[in-house]
Every structure is written in C-alpha cells, then in structure tokens.
Amino acid sequence: MNINRLISRFVMKKADHEENEALKQWKDESEENLQALRQLTQLNSMSDELHGYRETDAKAAWARLEPRLDKDKKTGTVRYLRYAAAAAAVLLVTFMAYRFINNVTSQEVEKGVYLATEVQKVTLKDGTLVTLDKGSRLSEDGTRRITLEGRAYFDVVHDTERPFFVKLAHGSVTVLGTEFNISTSTDYTEVFVTEGRVRYSYDNNNMILNKGDFIEVRKGALKTLKPAYAPEAWTSTTLKFENQNLMSVMQQVASYYDYRLETSEGLPGDNCRINTTFTNEKLEDVLQEIQVLTSLVYEIKGKTIIVRSFKC
C-alpha cells in the first residue's frame, strides 16, 4: 500500500476501513513513523496562508486518528515503508495543498519563486543566503536579479562581474556582496545595511548606504534614519529585553512582527524597565504580557500598533 496515498486519503477523510487499518499498523511499527505522521501538524501552522483550507486542520486530524483507527480492526498484513518515505509524503501533501490554494504553477516554481509560510532560509542559485519572513514572496531569474514582496534578510555572495539587484515596491537595491535587511510593501519600504554598503535608487535619488544606515520610504517621502534597535532582529526566534524602557521595547516588538508603532499625544514619561524574553510567541501574547507589566493600553489598526497609555 502506498503510504503517500494512505496519508493523503486520511487527511481528506476518504480512507476506508482497510486503509485505516493499514495506516494504524504502519504508525505502530516504530516511533519514527509515529513522529512522521505527527508532522501533519505543520499544515496547521500554514492555515492563515491557506485561505480556507482549515477543513484539513492537522491537529484536528491527528486527534481523530487514534479513535478512528482503533475502532475498526481487521487482521491483515501491510508492507511497511521507511520513515523517509513518510516524511516525503507529508512534505508532498503540505506543498501540493499550498501550491493549489495559491495557484502557484510549476513554471513559476521552476523560475525560482519562494513563498514563505513561516520564517525560513532560502539559498538562491548564486549561493546567496536569504532569510524570508512569513507571508513574503521572493522570485529570482538566475542572473542575480530579485523581486521581493514582504521582508527578507540577505547575505549576498560577492561577485564583482554580476551585481546583485533587488526590485522593491519603492525603488531598488544594488550590491556586489554584503548583508542587509529589507521590508517592502505598497505602503512603505525600509532598507537597513548590517555589513558593507549598497546603492539605493528611488525616483531620481541614488544613495550609497553604509553599515548602520537605515532608509525609509513612506507616502512618497524618503528619510535616512539611525535606528535605536536592530531591524533584522526578526530573523531570530527570540526577543530578549534587559532593563529596557517601554517605548524601546514596543519599537522592537512592532519591528519584529512587521508592524508600525504610533503613540498618542500626552503620554507620561517612560520610566518603565522591562526584563523579559519571548520565544516564538504570538504578537497578542507578547502584548498581553507587556500589558500586565506596564498597564499598557493599546490598539491595533491594520498593521499599526497604537500606544494609548501606560503606567509603571
């Protein structure tokens, strides 16, 4: 029995009695097979991007697995497959579901289109390493010309004969070899250089950005800034704060989750001191903990966090 077919039919609730029994026997063969089947929960983390694909919610599917497979027992034999085949099957189900829902054609995939369902590392054809944020899209044509929608951190392979070019919603970035962070959408574009230097072009502006330089384009206006926090911190799974004031923490939290931060007028002096660590937390959970620590009153509008008041 093909394990790919078994898992796929189970997820789609089409498995019959014999297939259920075969899957149960395969699952019981080893801990590796059990863990492979549990990787179906990866689909659950993709649910926000799958636009209505929640009917195949993996956690619910796993919760249904034991009672469904234990209920119908039938003697028989099944050809057991290796763990690698199961892992490949899970990856196949995950990829095909995502590709179908987002209408990604095989031609687009061959051209080098990357759609991030979570923060992930991508190695481009020239060896450049890219950390791509959840929900972001990157495409390459094999000639070091990139189009980015969303947020990414680039560690570019040096090549004096072939400059690395990134097309953005507002302008473009050209480099030979360096490291930099980009966040771009129809509303704004940010570029922060962590190593080396880049050339940023927008309208009639051509600027050289060196290590530590940060530019922002918003509502057509170009600004050069010196951020008090690291815009590339989102590439880590951990947010750590040691004796930092509230506004600094909120700026970093907003940046980490790719939100903007606004503050209401008349806020009190920021005498708060925050010591805490967050690892793979949801934004609402982070804000709730900060709320407990500082009596924070905030509002979220679209992609903006608005601080209304606080008390320390």
274 has which bridge partners?
244
Phi, psi (deg, nearest 5) at residue 107: -65, -40
Instruction: Indicate the residue type of 266.
Output: G
- Give 3: exposed, middle or buried? Use CB within 10 Å, 0-12, 13-18, 19+: buried
Lowest mean pLDDT among 25-34, 125-134, 193-202, 303-312: 25-34
Where are the chain's structural domains? 3-101, 111-225, 236-309
The pLDDT confidence band at residue 32, using thresholds 50, 70 and 90, is low
Burial letters for 66-91: b for 16+ Cβ neighbours within 10 Å, e otherwise?
A: eebbeeeeeeeebeebeeebbbebbe
Q: What is the pLDDT of residues 49-91, one digit of tens each?
A: 444 444 444 455 555 555 544 544 444 334 434 444 444 444 4
- Topology classification of domain 236-309: Phage tail protein beta-alpha-beta fold (3.55.50)
Are the C-beta atoms of 256 and 231 separated by less than 8 Å? no
183 has which bridge partners?
151, 190
Tell me the torsion sign for CA atoms 282, 287, 292, 294: positive
For residues 155 and 126, give the distance between their C-alpha atoms in angstroms, rounded to a whole number.
11
pTM: 0.56
- Topology classification of domain 111-225: Jelly Rolls (2.60.120)
For residues 296 and 312, give the distance between their C-alpha atoms in angstroms, rounded to a whole number.
9
Q: What is the pLDDT of residues 241-286, one digit of tens each?
A: 988 999 989 988 998 898 989 999 888 888 899 999 999 899 999 9
